[in-house]
């Protein structure tokens, strides 16, 4: 089983979040740490001036609270909110914390995914550890 599991969370589909966390719990050792990670994408410079500062801060605070709520239901769970490019940041975080398994949700691939790639595909191709894809 695994000792340090990273679960990237996207709040657009609660069912996938629940399935990802359940899969991580099933594969975790008794004393494993399960880190729930949400990556906030950078806002482009041309758009940042049109978004009120308090809205950005309130959004981050809301996401952090939701991550902590989810993590509190997981033994040895912790929430982590970071900013960056989703695929690259997931991979960098996995290396930084010494992750031995990433559990990531994915949608059913379409032609655009084969041409452009998805976050899950990037993680699968470049991860330094085991990756489990949940659909």
| Three-state secondary-structure class, residue 51 | coil
Domain ranges of the chain: 2-108
Mean pLDDT of 81-87: 95
- Please report which confidence band the pLDDT of residue 135 belongs to, taking 50, 70 and 90 as the band edges: confident
Residue 54 CB coordination number (10 Å): 8
Which pLDDT tens digit goes with each residue over 102-123?
999 987 666 555 544 589 999 9
Look up the pTM and report it: 0.90
Mean pLDDT of 43-63: 87
CATH dotted code for 2-108: 3.40.50.620
Are the C-beta atoms of 61 and 82 separated by less than 8 Å? no
Residue 48 CB coordination number (10 Å): 11
Cβ within 8 Å of residue 5, ≥6 positions away: 24, 27, 28, 32, 33, 34, 35, 99, 100, 101, 102, 103
Pick the closest to residue 78 from 88, 70, 86 (CA basis).
70
């Amino acid at each position: 089983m695994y000792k340090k599991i990273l679960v990237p969370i996207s709040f657009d589909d609660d069912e996938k979040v629940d399935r990802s966390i359940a899969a991580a719990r099933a594969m975790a050792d008794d004393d494993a740490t399960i880190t729930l990670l949400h990556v906030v994408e950078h806002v482009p410079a041309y758009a940042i001036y049109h978004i009120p500062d308090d809205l950005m801060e309130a959004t981050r605070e809301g996401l952090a609270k939701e991550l902590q709520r989810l993590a509190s239901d997981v033994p040895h769970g912790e929430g982590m909110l970071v900013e960056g490019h989703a695929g690259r940041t997931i991979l960098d975080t996995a290396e930084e914390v010494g992750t031995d398994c990433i559990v990531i949700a994915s949608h059913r691939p379409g032609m655009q995914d084969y041409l452009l790639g998805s976050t899950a595909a990037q993680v699968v191709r470049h991860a330094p550890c085991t990756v489990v894809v949940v659909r």
